[in-house]
Amino acid sequence: MIFSLFFSRITKMRQSQLFGKTLREDPKDEVAANAKLLERGGFVHKNSAGIYSYLPLGWRVLQKIAKIIREEMDAIGGQELFMPALVERKYMEPTGRWGVEIGLEVKGKDEKEASFVLGWTHEEVLTAIAKHFINSYKDLPTALYQIQTKFRNEPRAKSGLLRGREFMMKDLYSFHADEKDFEGYYAKVKDAYNKIFRRAGLKAVYTLAAGGVFTESNTHEFQVAAPVGEDTILVCTDCEYAENKEISHLKDGEQCPKCKGKIQEKSAIEVGNIFPLGTKYSEALDLRFIDEKGDKKHVIMGSYGIGLGRLMGTIVEIHKDDKGIIWPESVAPFGVHLIELGTKNEELGKKVKKEAEDLYDGLIAKGVEVLYDDRAEKTAGEKFADADLLGIPWRVVISEKTLKEKSVEIKKRSAGNAELVKLTEAVQTLTKK
């Protein structure tokens, strides 16, 4: 029973049945690689500017990213909950965040003025909930997170999944009795974030940044260097100390203030952001607790965000070549792309099909996630081009030619050359990869 969630997921797919088709041409008006490749591969569909649907392939990738994030949040004591997307005016007014530009307000037909905003962040809502459950120092510390759609009025919506008007965010909030406890937790979140980005195949630089509409103090961003990034960071090539250009006094080519290495200016994508909030929200919404001496104090808070779609888009920006995506195994929609190549000889064709079906079943039985290209009408060239575009880590080809050697051809998406592996050893070889 405890495994039912895991095992009920679909671990296999015949490409002839897969919803969504690959496109030959790049979508019009897209500049960013992630926007082009994800749409061409049938991972996402753009409904409106900055508003995307995740198609079955893309949804699998997003769920893998969500799983990594959940594991690392749970590991630092985060408890998952789920809050409303409609946020009432009464929550945002006390903090002065009602009517700000970033919010998309919602108005009923009979209303003169909006009384709700589509949730673009949840500090206020969670602080109001916490008021009901945090009374004493014994209730602290605590940390809660959700994975939910956020809505923001982003006039600059562009670059595919990197900047949406509607996007999935993991937002974690922590509550503490004192600064020291908060700082300890902030460091834990930093480590958890580093693990998440590493597991997702990215190298993110911990960067000092400004607080924006969240806090007056400095915050930290996790920045992935990429030409398409909208942010500019100044980062040391030796020790990786980094500052966001918005707040930095550092200059390109200068000496690093920490290690005497060299500072370089780089474009980067902000994949995560962590904020010390102090008592800004607990004061505005009157969240207090009774400490050990019996005094009433405001709770100290932090908030911590990661954009799941932006992370997926960033992975594509980093892991790609001129033929398509090269998914890291941890987030790939499938582990193996099994390709059966047709042949003119009917007898041989049947044999190839039979071996491909057997290998498909054999891999699934071992828990390998397989996309099986069983499409009869596609040429070898079309199948290979699709495989390169979709970027599944291992390509396995069965054809008349490989069967002559009683073998299959196995090729890693990220590598140039293929190897022939005996049919009898194929399952074992692939489960070991």
Binding site for ligand ATP (CB under 6 A): 121, 152, 154, 163-164, 167, 169, 212, 270-273, 305-307, 309-310
Segment 27-31 long-range contacts (CB within 8 Å, at least 24 positions apart): 30/160, 31/158, 31/159, 31/228
CB of 358 to Mg ion, least distance (A): 50
Query: DSSP string covering 389-422, please?
Result: HHT-SEEEEE-HHHHHTTEEEEEETTSS-EEEEE
Nearest distance from residue 92's CB to ligand ATP, in Å? 15
Strands 51-54 and 231-236: unpaired
Q: Is the dihedral of CA 226, 188, 195, 61 positive or negative?
A: negative
15 interacts with, out of ligand ATP, Mg ion, none, CB within 5 to 8 A per kind: none
**273 touches Mg ion (CB under 5 A):** yes
The partner in contact with residue 169, picked from ligand ATP, Mg ion, none with C-beta cut-offs of 5 to 8 angstroms by kind, is: ligand ATP
Tell me the torsion sign for CA atoms 37, 42, 44, 46.
positive
Please say which residue, 221 or 374, places its beta carbon nearer to Mg ion: 221
Q: Which is nearer to ligand ATP, 153 or 429 (CB)?
A: 153
Longest dimension (CA), the chain: 87
CB of 308 to ligand ATP, least distance (A): 8
Residue number with CB closer to ligand ATP (167 or 360)? 167
Question: What torsion, rounded to 10 degrees, do the Cα atoms 250, 256, 261, 263 define?
Answer: -10
Residue 127 vs 273, nearer CB to Mg ion: 273
Whichever of 305 and 333 has its CB closer to ligand ATP, that residue is: 305
Which helix (H) or strand (E) segment is 81 a member of? Answer: none
**Would you say 362 and 427 are in contact if contact means Cβ atoms under 8 Å apart?**
yes
Q: Smallest gap, in angstroms, from Cβ of residue 189 to Mg ion? A: 14
Which does residue 163 touch among ligand ATP, Mg ion, none (CB within 5 to 8 A, set by kind)? ligand ATP
313 binds, options ligand ATP, Mg ion, none, Cβ within 5 to 8 A by partner type: none
Total residues at the site for Mg ion (CB under 5 A)? 1
Work out how close the CB of 9 gets to ligand ATP at its nearest, in angstroms, rounded to a whole number: 25
User: What CA–CA distance (Å, rounded) separates 335 from 329?
Assistant: 7
What is the contact surface with Mg ion in residues (CB under 5 A)?
273
